[in-house]
Amino acid sequence: MPFLELTLPCRESEQPRFEAALDDVGALAVTLIDADADTDNEHAILEPGVGETPLWQEIVLSALFPEDTDALVLLAALESFDPGLDWTQARFRKVEDQDWERAWMDQYEPLRFGARTWIVPWNQELPDEAGAHAAVVRLDPGLAFGSGTHPTTALCLQWLDGLAAAGELQGRRVLDFGCGSGILALAALKLGAADAVGVDNDPQAVIATADNAQRNGESERMAVYLPQDEPAATYPVVVANILASALIALADALAARVAPGGRIALSGILAGQEDEVLARYAQDFDELRADRLDDWMRVTGTRRG
């Protein structure tokens, strides 16, 4: 069915107030878009730290209401709920219903990383060029927090593919810290890892990872936890695709999860932040190096001891 859509610009500091007002008057859905982004240059929000909700400084906020909603009555209700906000820039239009997940998936193509790793939408065929030995992760973009399209995810997938090619992943256990969609853990399993553990502080990420593990037939070899529920363990392979600030704050905790001689990959690091990450992890890791893709870095190393 069609909807009435309200859009308006707002600042990051005002976003919670705008969203609270929209929820109060019955918004069916509220979405946030980077006001400075275009279709080819969207600013990414990566996995937040505990209690954090990072947003763009300038936001376009969009809300959907039932088609028969009276825009003038709605605007009056919003102004009454929070008269301190500027509602004069609100714009309304009728939008037709559509299968939003299908629309997104129609734009999402199979992607290759390294020699064997392929990320493929669940409803699309594997390209012929993939070959019989392809490591294929079937992903549902409607539930995914990471789909391989962002450079940080791509850097980690390439690293896992390289580990597998070097024989350093076969039969080993992998920790995906900040797992999001579970894409990295699932890729490791498809590349030969024995089992994998995903950890994320967002309950929705835990749900998405479990769903994608089931979709890929890996539920028995994939476990996923909130941080407080994660069992104590060490792993020969650890990958953490979060933010540089979180990687630095969690350096001791992540190092403790890597078995002696084990390998680690850290991403979510903007170019220019890698030196601080390298310095922090040099306390526990050898063979440290930083690799770049676009404006993002990946730091890798081997656990000392």
At 171-227, the pLDDT tens digits run 999 999 999 889 999 999 999 999 999 999 888 788 889 989 999 999 999 999 999
Q: Which amino acid is at 123?
A: N
Return the higher-pLDDT residue of 233 and 4: 233
The 3-class secondary structure across 227-276, one letter per residue, is HHHCCCCCEEEEEEECCHHHHHHCHHHHHHHEEEEEEEEEEEEECCCHHH
The Cα–Cα gap between 115 and 126 comes to 15
What's the confidence (pLDDT) of residue 145? Answer: 43
Question: Distance between alpha carbon 122 and the CA centroid of its chain, in Å?
Answer: 18
User: pLDDT of 143-166, one tens digit each?
Assistant: 434 555 678 889 999 999 999 999
57, pLDDT greater than 90: no
In which residue ranges of the chain is CATH 3.40.50.150 found?
A: 103-303
Is 153 annotated in a binding site? The answer is yes
Is 131 annotated in a binding site? The answer is no
292, pLDDT greater than 80: yes
In which residue ranges of the chain is CATH 3.30.70 found?
A: 3-97
Is 200 annotated in a binding site? The answer is yes
Closest CA to 235 of 267, 252, 272, 260: 260
What's the confidence (pLDDT) of residue 101? Answer: 47
Residue 114 falls in which region: left (phi positive, over 0), alpha (psi -120 to 50) or beta:
left
51, pLDDT greater than 60: no
Is 82 annotated in a binding site? The answer is no
Task: Give the residue-averaged pLDDT of 71-89.
Answer: 90
Report the chain's C-alpha Rg in angstroms.
Answer: 22
A 10 A CB-CB count for 165 gives 13
Yes or no: domain 3-97 corresponds to CATH 3.30.110: no
Using CB atoms within 10 Å of the CB of residue 258, give its burial: 0 to 12 exposed, 13 to 18 middle, 19+ buried. Answer: buried
CATH superfamily of 103-303: Vaccinia Virus protein VP39 (3.40.50.150)
CA torsion sign for 189, 193, 197, 202 is: negative
CA distances from 77 to 10, 71, 81, 131 (A): 18, 10, 6, 59
Lowest mean pLDDT: which of 69-78, 105-114, 253-262?
Answer: 105-114
Instruction: Note the residue count of the chain.
Output: 305
Using CB atoms within 10 Å of the CB of residue 61, give its burial: 0 to 12 exposed, 13 to 18 middle, 19+ buried. Answer: buried
